[in-house]
Structure 1
């Protein structure tokens, strides 16, 4: 255990020290604001305050962890051995930057509470983030800082036995469209047929006809293959099912369709299943509740994990709504337009609510990349995508973190915009599990 002395123990200090020391570096931590307790402690200890008490391990504190609410902070980026960092300390401090305040700024998504311009879908954009502006979005910077800090701790307290965490991988699959043509309503099927015909999409007209008349398997029905690869590579896999009512942005099969219900029930037998709340649930708590109950009725089990459709979430409202519904895990933390680490970390963390200044029970699992980001936004080829996937995986592996990817069942179809992408998912699994 390591003892931390600080002149004032705030919820922010408890939160971020536990994240860095306990969840990332596996070092138990306790806190004291009494100098005599600190002096009497025999094990590893450090002070986090304005001036050192003596010649102890000292980190000069930034004001951020002692404040409440949100202020417009000036972020001055510098380098710590070639690694970008901010919130400089002074010469008396054993580390040149207050990585605890800097980590809190990134993990709490402090910048997303500040005034910003939202994109077409009402989302905070990567381009406005400090990570994008200073070119460290594709590095789990908080974990890198933590490991640099660990090296210095080991020098100062070599007799302490340090545990080492292990790298792990989670494959997540969003089911926006379980089927391309099957099990759609008559109106949608006929409308789609004439729409394709009008636009001279003759291959799609033929495919729709052959699938609807059971002459061919639906191209988006790739679930057997995903489950086979899950078993072959021993991969933890989570399916997020969209079961909202039909809208411009929610075009999945109706949740009232027996075949769709059976598919969800089947996936529950082989993998973990979560809710994919529909487009308009971002700030609509009653709609979110309705969809959660709908999935629970199908699976006969409580919904514990979730990922927002279109990655549409607004802080803190969306997360507060999930907490009210007793959802325990959220997997929405990432950007649609860019790969990388939106919260600066590849370690799951608890959502800190800056409105109420508390650590909540909602655990956030940040993902590193999404297939539609690679294809639609970044316009990469499957081969180029594999290179980016390998780079991101190596970044996570270097800090023994959790590598999370987001793919869709459509990606494995080799159909329409996913032509040529069929093998990417398996190639990624090979990289991720090697």
Structure 2
């Protein structure tokens, strides 16, 4: 099947991300943005379409037609320093006096901290028979974007894991290009959790093709789910199925599974695509329907500190409701990895 893909030069280049080798330009976060890509039609998974037409027929538990890989990057568990002021003003504007009185203490009182919401997210997902992955930072205090000490979250990590959800690593700003950093941060999370972790996504979606995949494999990760554009939702390498990356420099497959990212909350709204709620929903629904058509896996990233905002939380639940209504298998990256490598992947290698 993949030998046949190699015969299609354009699709093979898209699949292997050939244009990302020997880059001369990256954005201010050292990323390759969609606006620099020579591949158009990002909303159509052209490589997956080709593979399905040539025999790829993935099946999922209980006869589900497609899967949703539900994920959260835990950038912060304490609100921004200005939140007590801004949040109070917004609460007063809504004439919510109780909220306005609580908000100034949100950084010191967990009960009133809107970012200390991991258990609430688990509870919401369970309502739709869904599970998800939580990727935690394990930064040192001097590192950029340090917000919490991973050791202080032992009870939260334990609750998530004991409930059947997944805990993984959210690599820091330098992790994507440092084997030593990857190993050290992986060790920190595993020490707090008390067991091995297999899943990864890098902070700010920083990624270097093919080096990051190689480093993740050497660090002992089984899968990555970073590969998606920060500035646009869609299919970065034309795939809506998990896949084994290919190192063009060395002419071989890399020993890690990529579960490509398709939708990130911050891509849709103010940070990048700047869609209003109606257009964002149309885009989200189109991508979900497209993945369903190809019996694929759609990976969705929703930050826990995005969920603190009323409309965004409602939007997230709307996604859960829509996917559950389509009878999708809504689960974690770990469960996708286990199923794909044991039930689907062996059949693609015949």
TM over 0.5: yes
Shorter-chain TM-score: which interval? 0.7 to 0.9
Q: What secondary structure does 1:403 align onto? A: strand
Are positions 1:172 and 2:71 aligned together?
Answer: yes
Q: What secondary structure does 1:275 align onto? A: strand
Which structure has the highest helix share of the two?
A: 2
Structure 2 equivalent of residue 144 of structure 1: 49
Compare 206-215 and 171-180 and name the one that shifted more: 206-215
Q: 1:266 to 1:130 in 2, by over 3 A?
A: same
Q: 1:179 to 1:350 in 2, by over 3 A?
A: same
Structure 1 equivalent of residue 120 of structure 2: 225
Alignment gaps of 5+ in structure 2: 60-64, 91-99, 327-350
Distance in 1 (alpha carbons) for counterparts of 2:288 and 2:313: 20
Are positions 1:395 and 2:290 aligned together?
Answer: yes
Structure 2 equivalent of residue 425 of structure 1: 316
Structure 2 equivalent of residue 298 of structure 1: 192
Alignment of 1:242-321 (within 5 A): 242-247=137-142, 249-257=144-152, 260-270=153-163, 271-321=165-215
Kindly tell me the number of residue pairs found equivalent between the two proteins: 309
Alignment gaps of 5+ in structure 1: 1-13, 21-64, 66-97, 151-161, 182-191
Structure 2 equivalent of residue 412 of structure 1: 307
RCO comparison, higher one (Cα < 8 Å, 6+): 2
Task: Check whether the contact 1:277–1:306 (CA below 8 A) recurs between aligned residues.
Answer: yes
Q: 1:212 to 1:404 in 2, by over 3 A?
A: closer
Query: Between Structure 1 and Structure 2, whose CA radius of gyration is higher?
Result: 1
Structure 1 equivalent of residue 24 of structure 2: 116
Distance in 2 (alpha carbons) for counterparts of 1:332 and 1:213: 32
2:280 aligned to 381, 385, 408, which one? 385
Compare 396-405 and 229-238 and name the one that shifted more: 229-238
TM-score by length of 2: 0.80
* Cα offset, 1:236, TM superposition: 3.4
Q: 1:118 to 1:293 in 2, by over 3 A?
A: same
Alignment of 1:322-333 (within 5 A): 322-333=216-227
Distance in 2 (alpha carbons) for counterparts of 1:201 and 1:398: 42
Task: Check whether the contact 1:243–1:252 (CA below 8 A) recurs between aligned residues.
Answer: no
Distance in 2 (alpha carbons) for counterparts of 1:163 and 1:322: 28
RMSD: 2.6
* Cα offset, 1:329, TM superposition: 0.2
Q: What secondary structure does 2:135 align onto? A: strand
